[in-house]
Amino acid sequence: MDLNTISEVIRRPSARPGADWREGDAWLAGGTWLFSVEQPDLRRLIDLTALRWAPLVPSSAGLEIGATCTIRDVYAFTPPDHWIAGGLFATSCEAFLSSFKVWNAATVGGNICMSLPAGPMITLAVSLEARYELWASDGSVRAVDAADFVTGDHQNILAPGEILRRVHIPARALEKRTAHRRFTLTRLGRSTVFLIGTQTPGTSDLLLTVTAGTTRPVRIAFDAMPDARSLGRRIDAIPADIWFADPNGTPGHRHHLTRHFAEDIRRELMAGSPA
């Protein structure tokens, strides 16, 4: 849609944009959300894709994903064989309610910064214990745990003018076993719940990430595989006010599904873990 309040688009920002950030500015990534609704408060768009950040940089330390990497590029990425969690990349892209047009343009950073409950790049990053590099408008840099970034539905910790620059996924998380479950009302619909469990090979630990059913991601860690009752108790301990309500499900429905699928994931990972 035409954004008729925009009077300027910065097509070639400086390599460290943000210094002249002002009210009414917005970072432009794929634009799939920015151009999908009216933006009456915006006056200027600053195009981050012009900065040509490297999309995907694998190394022995893990994987760095530039914030402007598209969903299409994540889907096309072939991880090395020993990154056995690598199947989660395609799974998470497929969790997008979107047409091919959205996949081609939408970026990882845009999805994370939108901070919607059903943001699949958020699920991916939190489950793989990612850290985000954030650039503030005063030139300072901070790194935060992906689990602490989204604070609610369409809310996050970014300060005005701050940029998500890159996502770093550690190699040890990419080497974990995984299991996931997702529920949607229609086959290609928005996620009602999306859960991912990971386990360090050779151990019986469990890291469970609960998203889409809650307004912010919830990560639950166990040093050893819990029994069904202990796992259920931890799901029940998720604060009542963060279960999400929208046309895809009531908070009660989402709580029920999360309990059910968490147990599925527990059983799946337990089946392949050391006795």
Ligand X SMILES: Cc1cc2nc3c(=O)[nH]c(=O)nc-3n(C[C@H](O)[C@H](O)[C@H](O)COP(=O)(O)OP(=O)(O)OC[C@H]3O[C@@H](n4cnc5c(N)ncnc54)[C@H](O)[C@@H]3O)c2cc1C
In the complex with ligand X, the residue whose CB is nearer, 91 or 273, is 91
Q: What residues have CB less than 8 Å from 115, skipping those under 6 apart? A: 122, 149, 150, 151, 152, 153, 154, 155, 156
Residues of this chain that bind ligand X (CB under 6 A): 26-34, 36, 48, 67, 96-99, 102, 105-107, 109-111, 113-114, 116, 118-119, 158, 163-164, 190
CB of 118 to ligand X, least distance (A): 5
In the complex with ligand X, the residue whose CB is nearer, 101 or 172, is 101
- Give dist(CA 146, CA 125) in Å, integer: 6
CB of 78 to ligand X, least distance (A): 22
CB of 214 to ligand X, least distance (A): 14
In the complex with ligand X, the residue whose CB is nearer, 118 or 225, is 118
In the complex with ligand X, the residue whose CB is nearer, 21 or 27, is 27
Q: Which residue in the shown chain puts its C-beta closest to ligand X?
A: 110
In the complex with ligand X, the residue whose CB is nearer, 50 or 171, is 50
In the complex with ligand X, the residue whose CB is nearer, 33 or 222, is 33
CB of 12 to ligand X, least distance (A): 17
CB of 239 to ligand X, least distance (A): 22
CB of 110 to ligand X, least distance (A): 2
